[in-house]
Amino acid sequence: MKKAKMIVSKDFTIGRTNERLFGSFVEHMGSVVYNGIYEPGHATADEDGFRHDVLELVKALNLSVIRYPGGNFSSGYNWEDGIGPKELRIPKTDIAWRAIEPNTFGLNEFMKWIGLVGADPIMTVNLGTRGIEEARDIIEYCNFSGGTYWSDLRKSHGIKTPHHIKTWCLGNELDGEWQVARKTADNYGLLACETAKAMKWIDPTIELVAVGSSTRQMPTFPEWDKTVLTHTYDHVEYLSLHNYIGKREADTPTYLAMPMDMEKQIQEVIATCDYVKSKKRSNKTMQLSFDEWNVWREPDIEYTPWQIGSPYDWVKFHMEDALVFGSAMLTILKHADRITIACQSLLVNTIPLILTEKGGKAWRNPTYYPFEHVSRYGRGEVLRTLVDSPKYDTSSYSDVPIVDSVAVYNEEKEELTVFAINRSDEPIVLEMDIRDFNQYTIKEHIVLKHESLHAVNTADQPLEVHPGQCQDTMLSDGRATSRLDKYSWNVIRFHMGL
């Protein structure tokens, strides 16, 4: 049996995970909102129309932040359409996704729902069809205490206390030709800079995210990022990056290696940020907001345009997708020193963690479990481990480690967690030197696996793919040995004491 080795020490660290790394994304897209988190008349819906079967699954993820309302949707959205008495709100066309937007779920409904979840909001302003004035008005409505038109309007809507939204995205993917009112880098950079100034003049405590290149495949990458940062560096705290890893026609070994491209993207964006930092002679280090990331495969339901809540990219992810998804999460953790915001995209029904049926059941996609595990056990100090793993090559990738892993140390809880993925079609032994964690014992070894990489969860078989406990880790004299099953996601937890 093949072996991989890992050395883990408290003294060699990458960085402490920011609470906002464990986030997701709710966009007015497909059935994410309508017939997803919000479905008046559903058997589990409360008086506000929030589905509580979905809410309970969301709460179990222990999300720290949720981005809203888009995404592409935000570039053509008038936020004022979704506030005030529902009976006075007017349905409109959403040209981003070719849907009817009824506006029965808007800003205040989202804030009430996210309060039930227990997460913090990240709000996106429209810098596509709108600009400085809209951004100034929405932050006055949300964060100003009172005595002005917009803050008093909020109070008249029953929201006496300001929302105090801390984090704001200055638009979304505005370099993309698919985007409503796309911009050149200079046009966007100037607009984002002036918008940032206006928003911070109203609330100096907020933090802002500038739009980076939509994908690494854009012909302007990373020139767009450099130009945007040249305009905005002194006025924003984050630059965004997005990545969707698509199965398409790839074979399994190639698909499992694709997070290596995500690693290159992160390194290149960091290099671009640091170039602008040096060019400006700045003392500020730009942080990254990976506010859209996920895996993607062909949807299971054909989209019907110009409907309310028609499923878009509604897909039952496979066991195979859960492994790639987990590897993407580990890639983000490996850069905890620079990535301080991350939002899985999207939460419900669109390439989701959670699937629903209109009027029916809600259940977990297989990708739900790696996210839940990292959200529960991945908070702490990410350690800089030394790993020696067998490798493989494909037609597109070379030197792909069979074992992808990350170790996280939570000093407060006196816990060490090793996340490990076996990318191969046979078991492998992972030998871990954890002698630096004297007196630690094995707490548990969780494994997510299935005999078929094409296994999915359905409404009738919601636990076809689900994690379980195993006894495949042994520890003696500070050396742990774990057997990692073929094509498996593993969470190996150690703690102080018996």
Catalytically annotated residues: 173, 292
- Which residues, 6+ apart, have CB-to-CB distance to 269 below 8 Å? 212, 213, 222, 225, 239, 241, 288
Chain centre distance of CA 229:
23
- Which residues, 6+ apart, have CB-to-CB distance to 138 below 8 Å? 79, 107, 123, 125, 150
Closest CA to 49 of 91, 93, 112: 112
Torsion-angle region of 95 (φ positive above 0: left; ψ -120 to 50: alpha; else: beta): alpha
- CA–CA dist 236, 267 (Å, integer): 20
Helix (H) or strand (E) holding 493: strand 488-496
Polymer length in residues for the chain: 498
- CA–CA dist 297, 244 (Å, integer): 10
Helix (H) or strand (E) holding 420: strand 415-422
DSSP string, 226-282: HHHHHHHTTT-SEEEEEEEEE-TT--HHHHHHTHHHHHHHHHHHHHHHHHHHHHTT-
Is 464 buried (19+), middle (13-18) or exposed (0-12) by CB count in 10 A? middle
